[in-house]
Chains A and B, each alone.
Chain A
Amino acid sequence: MAEVVVGKEKGGEQRLVSLPLSRIRVIMKSSPEVSSINQEALVLTAKATEFFVQYLATYSYKHGSGKEKRALTYSDLSNTAEESETFHFLSDILPKKILASKYLKMLKEEKREDEEEGENGSDEGDNDEAES
C-alpha cells in the first residue's frame, strides 16, 4: 500500500518547477552585474516567477472589470500596475491603454474641428476659383 502512495506521488505530482530553468537562467544572466547563480537560487527564482504569474492574474481578475463577463483583459492588468503599489514596477511595460485611446479620441476631436475649419476654408477657395 505504501508503494502505491509513493508511485502516485511520483507520477501524479508535477515537476517542482514548470517554467524552463534554462530560460530563466538566460534572463537572469542578461543582467550585466550578475556573475553567477547557484542552482537553488535559480530554482527559487523560477518558482517565484510562477507565484508571481498566479498572483498577478488573480489579483487583476479580482480587482478587474471583467468579473461578470468572466474575462481577464489587458486593461485589468494595466489597472493593477497603476493602482497597486506592489505591482507598480510594471507600469512602464503595462501602460494604461484607456488613457491612450482617450488621447486619440481627443486628437480626433481636435482634428475634426480643424478639418471642419479647413473644409470651410477650402470651400471658400473653390468658390473663389469658380468665381474667377
Chain B
Amino acid sequence: MAERPEDLNLPNAVITRIIKEALPDGVNISKEARSAISRAASVFVLYATSCANNFAMKGKRKTLNASDVLSAMEEMEFQRFVTPLKEALEAYRREQKGKKEASEQKKKDKDKKTDSEEQDKSRDEDNDEDEERLEEEEQNEEEEEVDN
C-alpha cells in the first residue's frame, strides 16, 4: 500500500538510465526534465491501470490480466507498444517455464540426496534477500541523486 506520497515515485536512477539509453550519446538531460519524465511515468501507470481495469470489468473479471493491459495500450493510442509487449510477454513466459523446469530438476536432485533439502531451502531464501537488497540499492542511488 502507498503510505507516503513518494511511494508513488519510480526510482530516479532507473528512469535516468532508461532515458539515456533511448537518446543519442552525449545528450544532456536537465534535472527538471528527468523528474518530469518520472512523474509522467507514474501517471502513465495509473492511466494504463485504469484503462486495463475497464476491460477487466467489461469481461466481469476482478483480476487484471495481460490481455487487459494490451487492450489498454491500444485504447491509449500506444499501439506501437503492443508488438514489443507481446514479445516481452513471450520472453517472460519462457523464463517462468525455465524456472519451473529448473525447480523440478532441483526436486529430482533432492530426491536423490535426501539430506540436501534444507540446504536448497536456505539457498532459495538467500536469493529472495538478494533481490530485496537490489531494490534497496536502487532506492539508495535515487537518494544520492537527489542530494546532488
Contacts and interface: CB of A to CB of B under 8 A. Distances in A.
Interface residues of A, number: 54
Interface in B19-76: 19, 21-24, 26-30, 32-33, 36-37, 39-50, 52-53, 62-66, 68-70, 73, 76
Given A35-B63, A38-B63, A72-B28, A45 B45 contact: yes
For this complex, into which size category does the number of interface residues on chain B fall? 35 or more
B135 to A, nearest CB: 5
A20 B14 contact: yes
Main secondary structure of the interface of B (DSSP, over half): helix
B7 interface: yes
A77 B34 CA distance: 10
Contacts of B9: 23
A27 B33 contact: no
A55 B80 contact: yes
A19 B23 contact: no
Interface of B: 1-2, 7-11, 14-15, 17-19, 21-24, 26-30, 32-33, 36-37, 39-50, 52-53, 62-66, 68-70, 73, 76-78, 80-81, 84-85, 88-89, 91-93, 95, 135, 138
